[in-house]
């Protein structure tokens, strides 16, 4: 048996300790906050970080609707979606997206910083973003994280 497959089998069966962190996004810059959240979701802050293993932690973001953007991003930053049909490209700016889905810009910023694979989608599920100050995860006793 090859060494690489042996190594994968050994790491896949282990149960990693996943901590819970609470981040208050009020007044924080969107991109800088997203970088810190993505690092925690991937587990790069841990000594046991391995790129092919999900060792990251859970992140709860409150006040995601009050995240700050610099410059004219509210009117100039565009979000595109394509239905697959001719003429099916729709375009909305950041202000329109935040009015309809307040947590979507932060979630999209974090999601695009994660790996584009099954592992990245699993990491993204550990992000819990809420527009207001309330969240239903008090039982996990999250640690406050200052980013």
65-103 pLDDT per residue, tens: 999 999 999 999 999 999 999 999 999 999 999 999 999
- 50-60: average pLDDT: 95
% of the chain exceeding 90 in pLDDT: 87
The number of distinct structural domains making up the chain is 1
pTM: 0.88
What percent of the chain is helix, strand and coil (3-state, nearest 5)?
35, 20, 45
Q: Is the pLDDT of residue 14 over 90?
A: no
Q: Quote the CA–CA distance of 101 and 114 in Å, as a whole number.
A: 21
pLDDT at position 3 is 53
> 129, 139, 130: which is closest to 37 by C-alpha?
129
Residue 3 lies in a domain: no
Residue 138 lies in a domain: yes
Contact present, 126 and 107 (Cβ < 8 Å): no
| Strand blocks (E) in the chain | 20-24, 58-62, 78-82, 89-93, 127-129, 143-144
**CATH assignment at residue 88:** 3.90.1180.10
Residue 51 lies in a domain: yes
32 HSE (CA, 13 A, CB side):
11
Reported as a pLDDT band with limits 50, 70 and 90, residue 130 is: very high
Residue 135 lies in a domain: yes
């Amino acid at each position: 048996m090859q060494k690489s497959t042996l190594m994968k089998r050994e790491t896949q069966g282990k149960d990693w300790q996943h901590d819970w962190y609470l981040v208050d996004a009020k007044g924080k810059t969107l991109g800088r906050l997203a970088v810190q959240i993505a690092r925690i979701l991937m587990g790069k802050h841990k000594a046991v970080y391995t790129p092919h293993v999900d060792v990251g932690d859970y992140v709860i973001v409150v006040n995601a609707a009050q995240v700050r953007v610099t410059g004219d991003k509210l009117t100039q930053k565009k979000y595109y979606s394509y239905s697959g049909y001719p003429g099916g490209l729709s375009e909305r700016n950041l202000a329109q997206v935040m009015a309809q889905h307040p947590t979507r810009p932060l979630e999209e910023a974090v999601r695009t910083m994660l790996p584009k694979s099954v592992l990245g989608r699993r990491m993204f599920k550990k992000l819990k973003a809420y527009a207001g100050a309330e969240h239903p995860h008090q039982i996990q006793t999250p640690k406050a994280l200052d980013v």
